Structure formats: C-alpha cells, structure tokens
Amino acid sequence: MITSGAWADQTYAVLGLARSGAATVRALVASGADVVAWDSDEGRRIHILPGTGRGPGGAGVGGAPHGAPLADGPLHQPAAGPHPRAGEDLVLADPLSIDLTGFAGIVVSPGVPLNRHPIAQHAGDVPIIGDIELFAQARAELPPHKVVGITGTNGKSTTTALIAHICEIAGLPTRLGGNIGLPILGQDPLPEGGVYVLELSSYQIDLTHSLDCDVAVLLNITPDHLDRYDGFDGYAASKARLFAMQSQGHAAIIGIGDEASANVAKQVARAGRAEDLTKIAPGVCMDQSRWPALQGPHNAQNALAAIAACEALGIDAAAIDRGLESFPGLPHRMERVATVNGVLYVNDSKATNPTSTAPALAAFDRIHWIVGGQAKTDDLDACRAGFGHVAHAYVIGEAAPLFARLLEGDMPVSQSGTLEQAVRDAAANARAGETVLLSPACASFDQFRDYEDRGARFRSAVEALP
C-alpha cells in the first residue's frame, strides 16, 4: 500500500467506506494518522473494523489480505460510549456529529455531492479532499516515477487502459488506478521508473489540489453530471483544473473536437505552455484495421491521445504499435459477448449518456438497440446520426416512456421494460448478420447496482437464450 510520513500524527475524517474509502483508511492508519471513519451503510462501517488488522476478520480492508496487520490499538464506536480518547487511531463516527477543528483533511468519496451534502458547510476551514490528493501528497516519498492523468466525458476508461497496456508492453512498471481498477492507495508503490496511469473523473479532480501530472489528457467535454455543477461551464471548469495543477514543461494532450475542450487548449496555450500542448483533432483518418479492440471513429481519437501520451513518456513507436495491436479492450465497452443463431450480441453498458452511445450506433449495421435506464438528458440528439443503423429499439427502465416518444417515427420501438425482456424481444426479431446492442445512453441505478451489474445481467440473459 502507499503510505506517507506527511500524514503521521495528523487527524483525518474519511467519509464513504467503499473500495477507495476503505483503502484510504488503511493507508492513513498505517502511516500513523488518527482517523475518524464513517459510511451511511452500517455494513461498511462494520466491515472496516477487521480491515485494520485489529478486529476478528484479520488483516486487510474488509478482511482482504493486503499484508501484515497494523499495530494493535483500540477501536471505538460512539454507540458504545463517549467520543474517542486521545491516542485512538481509528474511530467510527459521523463527521457531521463532531468538531472538526484541527483536522488535517476530510477525505470524501467522489460520490458525495459536495454541492448538496452538509459536510461542505460543516468542514469550515478544513480541506475537503479525495484519495487522489493523498496520493499526490505521498509522491515525494515514492521512488522516482511519472503520472499520467486522463479525463473527459467519454472514452477515458478505454484510453486509460490503453496507455497502461502500452506502458506494460514497453516494459515499464505500471499501476492503473483512479476511477478504474483498484484504489491507488491500496496498491504497492512502483519501483524507480514506474508510471501511474490514473483515470480521473470530474468529481475526483474537484477533490484534488496538488496532482502535477507529467502527462495530462483531456479527451472531450459534453454535458454530463450537471446536477453537481453550476451549469455546463462549471463542469468544464472542473476538467480544466487538471491542467492548472501542472508544472511548466509537463505534457498537455487535449482533444479539440468540441468547443469546451478547445477552450481548455486555448487556456493552456495562453498560460505560456504552448510548447507543452498537443492537440488531437477530430476526424483524422487512421488505419485501424490492425487494432481489433479499437474500432470506430471515437476509438481513433482515443488511440491518438494514447499515442501522444506514450510518446511524451518516451516510449518508442514499435512498442506503441505492439500495444495498439494487442490491446484487449474493456468489459462493458462495445464488448462482443456472443453470436447466437448468427446474431452478434454486444455489451456497451458503460455508455451511460447519449454521447457515449453514439459511437456504438455508428460501428454496426442493422442494430437491435436496447436503450434506457436513468436518463441524464431529456433528448437523444447526440445519437441521431446513428438512427439509420437501427432496425428496432427496445426501451427499458425509468426512461422507457420518454425514449419511446423520442424514437417513435424514426424506428420501430418496443417498450420491453426490463433488460431480460428486451434481450428476448430482440432475439425474436433479429436475423443472422444483425447485431443486438445494449448501449443504454443512461445511468443504471434505477434497476441495477451499477453499469457493471447491468452488463453482467445482459451477458446472463444472452446465455439463457435457446
């Protein structure tokens, strides 16, 4: 795990005890910090106790074997008595219920909506940060390394995984983290010359103040998460902060296919960093025939950004080519699940907004499109260019009535309601050579735990077909 002497003898509150929060607690306590931890989910609160190495579950967060147990010490739950005594290094208490004066930081999950959650007011002068900021603070004590940070509304998971894959092909010690893979603080530090490749959501950037990326990548900015920001401009400004944290001479790679991203590129250039800047223009013709997992125009941009990032790291062209050719792709992103009776079934569950669904509609002919869930917008205009490829749409979830109204007249529509029914309906209509595509253009939380659960349920429904 990654630790830091800078946290020793400091007191932190950790709000949210899912994977990254649990890893944060363990890293802070191992570094000698005092920690007040909390989650609204009682199960997670109970789970964190054995995760310190002192409870009945043994070493590792949530009982997972992450190494030797931490030093023995007391644990305290407020329900069992008064608030903590001096010297207790892990306490379960809601930060809203205690005086936070003197705390070094409040580490919150990216899922905590700071524009609505009372912790923002209760914190006072105490900084509200995330685990990526703690990683940034720990960097000075790690062996010499580089950090690549990737953000954007769409394509960042694919681009992050592709950059990490190319680094590994080139023989560089590599860690994948941030909004993808394992929590970065829970991973072992890299040896000298290593590269940390971090996918960074706008929420994570909001909680980060000192991450100076050696290479920072912005793919695009389109409307998303607007419930967390003061309009689209506020969302775009969050993405731009990744470059404001960079030092002169560190590489900035920015897609300029939309106005907001192009404006960020202008900001970087006006800051006197024109020599650091690489612009990725849309519509560049590329031979993608040797890259089976990187098909479609959107993946051309992802590949160009990854190539530029790897070149900035000093990776040679031959290793980059091998990485592009051997990249396996990501689960839930245009993932070919099966071919049944000549019909291809594709899982694009990670497409959680219309802009991220549009590339999938462009990538296949004669599509039976499963779409719907928890809508982020009240239109599907970003998908319209691909409507001509859709033979039939099957709407599901909360958005089903809205999407049915939006699509009727452009294509046949079935109100299937559930994912399983949509798979059965599509299988009944599709013919050999056609594609059944789950690309929901929506969040998943109306019917599923997350987009991964939605994709897994799609796979199961396909496997259940006769």
Would you place residue 293 in the very low, low, confident or very high pLDDT band (cuts 50, 70, 90)?
confident
Residue closest to 220 by CA, chosen among 99, 358, 356, 326: 356
- 70 pLDDT more than 80: no
- 82 pLDDT more than 70: no
Q: Which of 66, 156, 298, 389 is catalytic?
A: 156
pTM of the model: 0.79
Q: Which residues contact 394 (CB under 8 A, 6 or more apart)?
A: 368, 369, 370, 371, 413, 414, 416, 422, 425, 426
- 64 pLDDT more than 70: no
Would you place residue 236 in the very low, low, confident or very high pLDDT band (cuts 50, 70, 90)?
very high
Give the amino acid at 69. Answer: P
Q: What is the pLDDT of residue 88?
A: 52
Residue closest to 12 by CA, chosen among 32, 35, 28: 35
Placement of tokens 């239109």 in the chain: 379
Placement of tokens 């009944």 in the chain: 428
- 208 pLDDT more than 80: yes
- Work out the angle at residue 199's Cα, subtended by the Cα atoms of residues 250 and 13, and round it to the nearest 5 degrees: 100
Q: Which of 154, 179, 220, 302 is catalytic?
A: 179
Q: Which of 76, 209, 225, 279 is catalytic?
A: 225
> What 8-state DSSP symbol labels residue 69?
P
Q: What is the pLDDT of residue 230?
A: 83
| Catalytic site includes residue 332 | no
Taking each helix axis from N to C end, the angle separating 317-326 and 156-169, rounded to the nearest 10 degrees, works out to 120
- 378 pLDDT more than 70: yes
Domains plus CATH for the chain?
5-129 (3.40.50.720), 138-326 (3.40.1190.10), 335-463 (3.90.190.20)
| Catalytic site includes residue 179 | yes
Q: What is the pLDDT of residue 77?
A: 40
Question: pLDDT tens-digit profile of 5-39?
Answer: 999 999 999 999 999 999 999 999 999 999 999 99
- 81 pLDDT more than 90: no
Cβ atoms of 422 and 436 closer than 8 Å: no
Question: pLDDT tens-digit profile of 137-160?
Answer: 999 999 999 999 999 998 899 999
Question: pLDDT tens-digit profile of 297-344?
Answer: 888 999 999 999 999 999 999 999 999 999 988 899 889 899 999 999
